[in-house]
Amino acid sequence: EGDVLAGKYRVERVLGHGGMGVVIVATHVHFNDTVAIKFLLPEIAQNADIVQRFLREGRSARRIKSEHVVKVSDIDVLPSGAPYMVMEYLEGTDLAQVLEAQGTLRIEDAVEYVLQACDALVEAHALGIVHRDLKPANLFLTRRPGMATLVKVLDFGIAKVASSDGGRSALTATGGMMGS
């Protein structure tokens, strides 16, 4: 806490971590914006394919302008070699946590959440991006200013991206299993 990364992001706290990385909350020192910054764990960042997939996630998510996809504002590598991705900071919880806490959703809520996720996927697919790991943990529930629930699709880390010549990215092998 308190460290300044890349000369502009002051670390506030750890938001969460998993098997591949950690997400922190930081403040942009020039704009005073709160952001979330995702890092790969050091042992994971040694794998060049995973680093490329991580950077592709940032580029892919940034291309999607839907209000239903978490906004990515920066991707880069620290002088230490650690790649990072700066995203909008979201307040709320993911759908997996909601389901664990309360069980079955009301039908109206379930339909609304699926429709919002579909809006994100329509735009992603129009750009040649296929998410490939859509699950409750990657659907984040936050609030719009009017207090209506807003679904944000997270984690385009294993997305398949069509190349400009119609081919597919070579970062995942044909027939390879990824995601959950």
Encoded tokens for 87: 């995203």
Please tell me the distance from the alpha carbon of residue 36 to that of residue 180, in angstroms, as a whole number: 24
- The DSSP element (H or E) to which 37 belongs, if any, is strand 34-40
- Of 76, 109, 133, 155, the active-site residue reads 133
Q: Is residue 49 among the annotated active site residues? A: no
Look up residue 69 and give its DSSP letter: B
93-94 and 139-143 strand pairing: antiparallel
Contacts of 54 (CB under 8 A, 6+ apart): 21, 40, 83, 85, 157
Is residue 89 classed as helix, strand or coil in its secondary structure?
coil
Spatial distance between the Cα atoms of 28 and 46, rounded to a whole number of angstroms:
27
> What residues have CB less than 8 Å from 91, skipping those under 6 apart?
142, 143
The residues carrying an active-site annotation are: 133
